[in-house]
Amino acid sequence: MSAIPLSTPETIEEQPVNLWRDAWYRLKRNKLAVFGLVIVLILAFTAIFGPYLTPYDYLGQDLNARNALPSMGHLFGTDDLGRDVFSRVVFGTRTAFLVAVIVTFFAVLIGLTLGAVAGFFGNPFDRVIMWLTDVTMSVPNLLLVVVINASLKSPITRWMEARYLETLNPFYRQTIWVDFILVFGSMALISWPPYARLVRAQVLSIRSRPYITAAQALGLSNWVIIKRYVVPNALGPLIVSVSAGLGTAMVLESAFSFLGVGVNPPTPSWGNMISDGLRVWQHYPHLLAAPAAVLGLASVAFSFLGDGLNDALNPRGSK
């Protein structure tokens, strides 16, 4: 009598789990996050190519068309000098993105380095770095930016003027670079502590994992372990924080320019355009509405994108 073969369950081949592919799938299902991503991409494209596509020079003046209302010739109208507001808003997008990207890059670089060192090596590095973080966060942002600008702008401007008189090089007359450098530096100095705290918390959780112990047992140096295993595994929450930080940097730059300690005219910035429009908004509301609406849209878009990335990169959000 032949034996009846026992039925065995079919082998089911499961696809390997890929964090980034699954996160992208969840992100695409979030309509608000997709909306935010589309707006951010449009703003990025405008920042790169927009100034080459605008119908007017952002500094071009037409005194015969001052304070013109929005029309087909001037989509956002003109200001008190006859400059096209649409062209200035578009160029202001480049200013906002340039400041946001560079400031966030340096803030993340500082925060990532200090947070990883504090979390992985512990005391005394942890105590000193966290003390420095607390001190930086305790200083009012506006006060620090005002002090930096008031202390450094005049000496740097005088030095550039002296170099121009000696060399007659027109580069030294472009004081806009002074504004950008001071804005970049001051904003980076006030923006790194949240990233340092976030990375430190992630590293404290990661350094006790078995693969870190195994890497140490293999004789890998601490810096190699941090670079290969600790930092890559701490990037998920950091990416979410960076997406929100870009929007925050844009708003901060606009706020500082609005108060006169950021990017100064004639270089267009949403902040200084809002400041100029606020003086005459009762008679010419379009001068305030255009830059304020674009700034609000950018802030909301980054907020939606940050929330969507948080849900997409959170493993508990997968089903």
- The sign one gets for the Cα dihedral 63, 66, 70, 75 is positive
Confidence of residue 144 (pLDDT cuts 50, 70, 90): confident
DSSP assignment string, 253-301: HHHHHHTTSSSPTTS--HHHHHHHHHHSTTT-THHHHHHHHHHHHHHHH
Q: How many CA atoms lie within 13 A of 2 on its CB side?
A: 3
Kindly report, residue by residue over 85-95, the tens digit of the pLDDT.
888 899 888 88
In three-state secondary structure terms, 208 is coil
Enumerate the H helices of 122-233 as residue ranges: 125-138, 141-167, 176-206, 210-217, 222-225, 231-233
* Helices 286-313 & 85-121 angle (0-180, nearest 10): 30
Kindly report, residue by residue over 158-189, the tens digit of the pLDDT.
888 888 888 888 777 777 777 778 877 888 88
- Cα–Cα distance for residue pair 138/203, rounded to 1 Å: 24
Kindly report, residue by residue over 39-58, the tens digit of the pLDDT.
989 988 988 888 888 888 88
- Bigger pLDDT: 20 or 118? 118
What are the structural domains, with CATH classification, of the chain?
Answer: 34-54+67-317 (1.10.3720.10)
Residue 317 is predicted with a pLDDT of 46
Query: Residue 175 carries which side chain, given as an amino acid letter?
Result: T
- Selection from 244, 278, 258 nearest residue 145 by Cα: 258
Which whole number is the average pLDDT over 223-239?
A: 76
Residue 20 scores a pLDDT above 70: no
Confidence of residue 251 (pLDDT cuts 50, 70, 90): confident
Q: Which residues pair with 84 in a beta bridge?
A: 78
Kindly report, residue by residue over 120-139, the tens digit of the pLDDT.
787 888 899 999 998 888 88
Residue 13 is predicted with a pLDDT of 44
* Helices 270-279 & 235-258 angle (0-180, nearest 10): 40
Question: CA end-to-end span of the chain, whole Å?
Answer: 49
- Cα–Cα distance for residue pair 55/67, rounded to 1 Å: 17
- Bigger pLDDT: 11 or 151? 151
Query: Residue 25 carries which side chain, given as an amino acid letter?
Result: Y
- Selection from 26, 258, 224 nearest residue 142 by Cα: 258
- Cα–Cα distance for residue pair 270/84, rounded to 1 Å: 14
Kindly report, residue by residue over 296-316, the tens digit of the pLDDT.
898 888 888 888 877 776 655
Residue 168 is predicted with a pLDDT of 81
